[in-house]
Amino acid sequence: MTRQTPPRGRDRHGRGPRGPLAWPPVPAMVTRAQAFDELVIESAARFDRALGQRYAATEFAVEEVPPSEPAPWEDERLPLGRLFPPAGRLPARIVLYRRPIEARCADPAERPELVRVILAEHVAALLGVAPEDLDSH
């Protein structure tokens, strides 16, 4: 007969299992990746009207880091984002790379402006206009 040990409710110091430090509704429970995703969603919403019907299906995505091999048309710098134009049935896609953007910003307060600038550059390239023209929309 095997002896089963009951599940331990307390550790060896007499304390119970520890719970979360902050509950889910508290901002401390939002990870950096989740906060960055929300920032990109908010920034991308500004360009909905500029994209119009033709590019209404444009997808915005976030990846941690860019692929290890740059595209042939890219220089040697680490890209902060990429634009993939529409191809066949695939819609246009704009991808931002979270870690290079975070590394570029010394202060987290700079991050929203950098994300806005990167998105403006890619949306402008997609539409064939200057990025400054998008700010007027």
**Which tens digit of pLDDT belongs to each residue from 71-113?**
666 666 778 999 999 999 999 999 999 999 999 998 989 999 9
Please report the pLDDT score of residue 56 as a whole number: 83
Grouping H, G, I as helix, E, B as strand and the rest as coil, residue 83 is strand
Q: What is the DSSP letter of 68?
A: S
More confident site: 12 or 132:
132
Rounded to two decimals, what is the model's pTM? 0.73
Helices vs strands, H then E, count in the chain: 5, 3
Q: What are phi and psi of 17, to 5 degrees?
A: -65, 145
